[in-house]
Amino acid sequence: MPPQKKRSRGSGKAPIDPKAAQTEDHEVEMMEEDSDSSESEDDLTFAPNDGADDDDDSDDEMDGGEAAAAAGGNVSVDFLFSDPREAHFHSVKQFLLAYLPPTQPFDVSGLANAIVGQVTAGTMVCVEGEDDVYGFITALNLKGFANETSIQQILQYVTKKCPSAELPKLQQILNTKNVGLVLNERMVNLPYQLIPALHSALHEDIEWAIQNEDTEELRNSFKMDYFLILATCTEEKSGSSGSKQGKKSKTAYEQTAKFFHNFEDEFLEQEAELSFSFDTPLTERERVDKSSKTTVVMLLEREKHKAALASISAMINV
């Protein structure tokens, strides 16, 4: 699907509640900077404005911030929501390399190109004046991108891993409904207060595209009935390591803790019409840890995804 024109992101969007944007200082790892861009970014700023104090205090805070940055400490960052563009390719590709199973031959570059090429629906979290991406969200219509090798590979992978009992329903939804593959990745330390607004931006983009895209074919491509999400979670087992009553007794005390890498996926799984999970191949580094990596596949109606945002916002008090 070729890149599409998009309206200015600042127009037609509800203002963000400043309380929802307040964050503490966050240490943010910088990616390698891409080429400079002349395109404008969003006017959404999510870091707090500490300028309410007097000038002396502000100067002190600025000096302290510069010293902290020089010493490798925490840095206050103003995040912006930006349209996808070509300069974001390398950052998005790095996220996908960490997201997709390393043992599978996915066309990561092709998927990254599809993400940055779909300007109509998709949001990048950036910093003003830079092309590094700190997080992103998008939804790719599986039928619209059916010729993309990466989409074919992901569908084959998911279908192969689907339990036989769930496979007929999975195939029925994929074959008869408009399904969007939601890709939602970010740095671990991205302020969680941004997450509800990031998901809301996706719905706003989709709804705008349905009403305003240039052709009927494009407008219809955004009428997605379902979202397909491949969520990553870590399972850790804990138990009584000091048991002397044998293996059977010891396992009775073991418990498995499940941690989604994106906390909101726990809420989305509860709304899923279909979900299943499977073990994800580990990298050499991950094998050292006493944990297992799991992929949770979920299919949920787009409207239920939108409704779940209220619960996500309430959980983090945004």
Q: Please report which confidence band the pLDDT of residue 116 belongs to, taking 50, 70 and 90 as the band edges.
A: very high
- 213 backbone dihedrals φ, ψ, rounded to 5°: -60, 155
Q: Please report which confidence band the pLDDT of residue 29 belongs to, taking 50, 70 and 90 as the band edges.
A: very low
Q: Please report which confidence band the pLDDT of residue 30 belongs to, taking 50, 70 and 90 as the band edges.
A: very low
CA 237 to chain centre: 26
Dihedral sign of CA atoms 113, 226, 194, 315 in order: negative
Report the pLDDT averaged over residues 113-140. Answer: 96
Nearest to 95 by CA among 77, 81, 115: 115
pLDDT number for residue 102: 82
Report the pLDDT averaged over residues 162-168. Answer: 98
Domain boundaries, the chain: 18-59+77-315
pLDDT surpasses 60 at 6? no
pLDDT number for residue 235: 78
Task: For residue range 70-100, list pLDDT tens digits in order.
Answer: 455 666 778 999 999 999 999 999 999 999 9
pLDDT number for residue 268: 97
Can you tell me whether residue 89 is helix, strand or coil? helix
Cα 13 from Cα 123, distance rounded (Å) = 13
CATH code assigned to 18-59+77-315: 3.40.630
pLDDT number for residue 290: 61
Report the pLDDT averaged over residues 259-266. Answer: 95
How far apart, in Å, are the Cα atoms of 178 and each of 193, 219, 239? 30, 12, 44
Check: CB of residue 181 under 8 Å from CB of residue 148: no
Task: For residue range 272-288, list pLDDT tens digits in order.
Answer: 999 999 998 766 666 65
Q: Can you read off the two tokens belonging to residue 256?
A: 């498995």
Check: CB of residue 128 under 8 Å from CB of residue 41: yes
Check: CB of residue 42 under 8 Å from CB of residue 81: yes
Task: For residue range 138-163, list pLDDT tens digits in order.
Answer: 999 999 999 999 999 999 999 999 99
pLDDT number for residue 293: 86
> Which of 32-41, 100-109, 264-273: highest mean pLDDT?
264-273
pLDDT surpasses 60 at 314? yes
Cα 257 from Cα 268, distance rounded (Å) = 18
Nearest to 134 by CA among 77, 186, 92: 186
**Per-residue DSSP letters for 2-64?**
-------TTTT-PPPPHHHH----B--PPPPP-----S-------S---TTS-HHHHHHHHHH
pLDDT number for residue 285: 62
pLDDT surpasses 70 at 1? no
Q: Please report which confidence band the pLDDT of residue 69 belongs to, taking 50, 70 and 90 as the band edges.
A: very low
Task: For residue range 171-200, list pLDDT tens digits in order.
Answer: 999 999 999 999 999 999 999 999 999 999
Whole-number average pLDDT of the chain: 79
pLDDT number for residue 286: 60
CA 111 to chain centre: 14
